[in-house]
Amino acid sequence: MPEAYFIVYNPMTVNVMDALGTCDTPLDLLGFLTRRDGRDLSESTWLDFLDFDPALDKRGMVETFAIESYAISYIAHQIAAHRPHAKVLLVDGVRRTVQETIRAHGKPEAVFISAMSSNFPTTVCTTLALNHGKIPVIIGGIHVSTSPGDSDLFIRNHVPYPELVSEVRGSGDSDVIGRVLRDLGNKSLKRVYTGLTVIEDGKWGASNVEEMPPLQLSFLKRIPLIGNLVVQAIRIQPIAPFLGCPHSCSFCSISTVPKALRRFTMRSPEDVVAELEHLQKDGVTLKNRLFFFLPDNILLAGKKLEELLDLIIEKRLKINYIAQASVDVADDERLLKKLRLSGCSHLFIGFESLNLKDLKHVGKKSVKAIEKSGGSAPDYYASQIRKIQRHGMAIHGSFILGLPNDRFNNLSDNTGHDYGRFCTSNHIGIQATPLSDLPGSQDFITTHNEGTWLFGEQGTMDYLISLVTCDLSEGNRIPPANLSQSPLVVLHMAYEAINRVGWTVNALKSASFMGVKGFFAPTISGRHSFKERIIDAFVAFAVPLIVSQYRDHAIKVLSSTEDARGSMERLWEMETDPDIKSMFKRYVEAFIASGKHRSAKDRVG
């Protein structure tokens, strides 16, 4: 009898935008993704319909930065605690696929799927196939919490065994996972489970969880001389000291989730440190010392954050980590010192815009501080950046393109180029994204009420397909009049900002600048060891190079292949303004790969 096991699956986002306007049902989308006729799906063919075309994989930013999904690891450890004698296999559809796992191990007791909006189309197609194989599927993640009707509309209404499809809204906590597993055993799976505890102690280190081979920072091979060394040496591991958000920002999908389901929860500092020590139990190398702290804003923890930092410093852990914070972290000198001593090497900060009117438009908290400073937004941000960098911590900033006061005069004179120049002159990295509405957010609801969506009204197949744009790679709403309502213009500006900052020469300049800063402002371990100080400097040098991979990711998403159009070609074909279309003609040709069945001239003629 086959060994009992479970699959915990984080699906890839897939490039199915060429299917817009061609699908009447989810089965048609499944057919597009598998290059088969979806009507042939049955109880005898279901396993074949898990063979998705790898040419349609849309490598996300998380995969580009080789950061594992903490969500599926956490849920896997929840399952492992309740079923210690069952194997729990992590799957992502690339390193390990659902199809090959089932072929090797037989049918699992259930498949747990983590669904962000961008991978929800893959989730739908996977579930359709698994249901025909009579395999229970439990879907969790942000999308089912913010758009709960989609599970019925796109899955249960199209499968023979809807009772085998369940969803967890809110958190997959111990109580919820325990009830799910008990009901699975009793064959009485409920449609919906609701979890309240966002993060718990002790959900790590289980021996019956089988990880996947590690991701690699493969794009860094382009860096001269040291690229291969960095790729082989470094691995970034996620860790979540605390999760949950008390805010209700209009652009965030979490804003529509009831507060009880997203309440801020912190693990004990002792448990976090114990997990870090467990990951380094066999010795410290660059493959187990670089971490990404997951909270959207590390400052939310207040005094509890300092308790964690104090314990890390007291233990003299040899770690370097990346965290997210708001720009006002620069105003707390004492906290900056603790962050650096505890191992913070890089901060991701949301600047959003350099225009004060647009900062007011998005409700940015920094507006008051900028006005109080008496200077401009770029001057204020530059001052804050210097305060942070003095402590040996690199920065990359988030910027939004497509706001009401952005400007576009031509291909080389626009807001995107302004952002690129600001970042290179201040030696910081950049994440530049077109303004997009995440499903469930207040902005998404407003856009659909006003009819200003780009690709499909909520509830339609085009809406389902266009969810793949919710990885922030392109916008899904009509841009403002100041940008000619052109999504092509907005995408161009975002790319040009990323391209300038991520260009190898500029990335190396920022890396060298931060390497020196990192050496003279060491972590606690670097204060007591020259070798550790050198490692601090190396990490400070390496992280800006890692962040420069936004450029590689953007090029891959924007460029066309023989199997699928890239975003740039697709948006050029959608463009209705003849002047903009003419202006971009030769520019777009560069994003159409050579050697296709149609020449660039034919495709952009």
Domains and CATH numbers, the chain: 5-195 (no CATH), 216-435+479-553 (3.80.30.20), 554-603 (no CATH)
Query: Which residue would you say has higher pLDDT here, 187 or 452?
Result: 187
**Who contacts 239 (Cβ-Cβ below 8 Å, separation ≥6)?**
70, 272, 275, 276, 291, 292, 293, 294, 321
- List, for residues 353-382, the tens digit of each pLDDT value: 999 999 999 888 899 999 999 999 999 999
Residues 6+ apart with CB under 8 A from 106: 2
- The pLDDT of 294-308, averaged and rounded, is 90
For residue 466, give the nearest of 8, 16, 13, 2 by alpha carbon: 16
**Higher pLDDT, residue 426 or 255:** 426
pLDDT of 595 higher than 90: no
Q: Identify the pLDDT of residue 56.
A: 92
- For the ranges 46-55, 273-282, 436-445, the lowest mean pLDDT is seen at 436-445
Q: Dihedral angle at the C-alpha atoms of 281, 284, 287, 290, nearest 10 degrees?
A: 100
The torsion angles phi and psi of 165, rounded to 5 degrees, stand at -115, 120
What is residue 248's predicted lDDT score, i.e. its pLDDT? 64
Q: Burial code of 49-76, b = ≥16 C-beta within 10 A, e = fewer?
A: bbbbbeebbbbbbbbbbbbbbbbbbbbb
Task: Express each pLDDT in 40-97 by its tens digit.
Answer: 999 999 999 999 999 998 877 777 777 888 999 999 999 999 999 999 999 999 999 9
What percent of the chain clears pLDDT 70, i.e. is strictly above it?
93
* Least confident among 82-86, 287-291, 294-298, 413-417: 294-298
State the average pLDDT for the chain. Answer: 91
Determine the average pLDDT of the residues in 420-432.
97
Look at 583 and 1; give whichever has higher pLDDT. 583
| More confident site: 404 or 246 | 404
Local structure of residue 48 (DSSP, 8 states): G
263 pLDDT band (50/70/90 cuts)? confident
Query: What pLDDT sits at residue 10?
Result: 95
User: How many CB atoms are located within 10 Å of the residue 260 CB?
Assistant: 9
Mean pLDDT of the region 172-197? 95
Neighbours of 42 (CB within 10 A): 12
Residues sharing a CB contact under 8 Å with residue 363, sequence separation 6 or more, in sequence order: 249, 250
Q: What is the pLDDT of residue 486?
A: 97
The length of the chain in residues reads: 605
Q: Find the helix packing angle between 333-342 and 303-315, rounded to 10°.
A: 40
Output the pLDDT for position 63.
Answer: 74
Cα 1–chain centre separation? 39
Q: Which two tokens stand for residue 364?
A: 């940015």
pLDDT of 602 higher than 60: no
Q: What is the percent of the chain with per-residue pLDDT over 90, rounded to a whole number?
A: 75
The pLDDT of residue 296 is: 82
